Homo-oligomer: A and B are copies of this chain.
Amino acid sequence: MQKEEIADLQIRFGVHLRKIREDKGLSLREVADRCDLDNSNISKIENGQFNIQLSKIFELAKGLGVSAKDLLDF
């Protein structure tokens, strides 16, 4: 997988993640509290700046109240 493809994937994931969060009416800081993460980092994930790990996908899913597979449904 090329760098560009990965960057594109991160962006698409981030857009999807943001939509889920906003549909739930949560702020970055609220999600951060639920996930034990920092709001700035979730912001970066949503903006496609990180190629996050498996465990983080599950942490985010838990914090957002959705299943992990839902986070990859885009």
Contacts and interface: CB of A to CB of B under 8 A. Distances in A.
Interface of A: 1, 5-6, 9-10, 13, 36, 51-55, 57-59, 67-73
A67 B70 CA distance: 12
Q: How would you classify the secondary structure of chain A's contact residues: helix, strand, loop or mixed?
A: helix
Number of copies of this protein chain within its complex: 2
Given A69-B73, A72-B68, A53 B52 contact: yes
A54 B1 contact: no
Contacts of A69: 69-70, 72-73
A36 B72 CA distance: 22
B51 A51 contact: no
A67 B69 CA distance: 10
